[in-house]
Amino acid sequence: MWTIPNQITLFRIILIPVFIIVFYLPISWSHFGAFAVFWVASVSDALDGYLARRLNQSSSFGAFIDPVADKLMVAAALIMIVEDYQSWWIAVPAMIMISREIFISALREFMSSRGKRDVVAVSTLGKYKTAAQMLAIMGLIWQPSYDIPLIIFDFPHEILMFAAFGFYFIATFLSFWTMLAYFKAAWPELRG
């Protein structure tokens, strides 16, 4: 149970309160600090899956806890973004993305109980959704126009924010689309 990939996943869960605390610190670079913590969590998500396959350390506990860690971190970040921006056009996509995660988790649990979890396994579009979501969250958390100057990147902060919003809406669309695709794939079992 205490394999290296599982330890990395548990570390990601421990990062959630750190992420929240750093975001709300009354210091000028709090948003950049929260971005950095979220980035570490995102990298650790890719790393634990890679190591589980590479070291042949896949486990039932890992298969359970990895998506839980992902969903907890993403939900926390989306709630913080909604609170920070206080806009319906940020809140509605966040609600769609969080609702999708709850729906898909329940659907996968149901399909597992029927021995057909593979029918709703992560698709390529689901992976694109996750990538767009992570990039969007990092940009919207950081808000590059604040905190750390972008002179070191020699890149206008407006372009980075435009990209973050673009990824946010791409992630929202893919969240909805993949939810429908998974539902359609599971419909024969749900109907029975």
What residue ranges do the domains of the chain occupy?
4-191
pLDDT band at 150 (very low <50, low <70, confident <90, very high): low
At residue 152, does pLDDT exceed 90? no
Q: How far does CA 143 lie from the centroid of its chain?
A: 18
| Distances from the Cα of 11 to the Cα of 6, 15, 19, 45, 181, angstroms | 8, 6, 12, 10, 32
Tokens of 111: 């399909």
Rounded average pLDDT over 98-112: 94
At 44-100, the pLDDT tens digits run 998 998 898 899 998 889 888 999 999 999 999 999 999 999 999 999 999 999 999
CATH number among 2.60.120.620, 1.20.58.220, 1.20.120.1760, 2.60.90.10, domain 4-191: 1.20.120.1760
Return the top range by mean pLDDT from 118-132, 142-156, 162-176. 162-176
At 18-53, the pLDDT tens digits run 999 999 999 888 999 999 999 999 999 989 988 988
pLDDT of residue 184: 95
pLDDT band at 190 (very low <50, low <70, confident <90, very high): very high
pLDDT of residue 28: 83
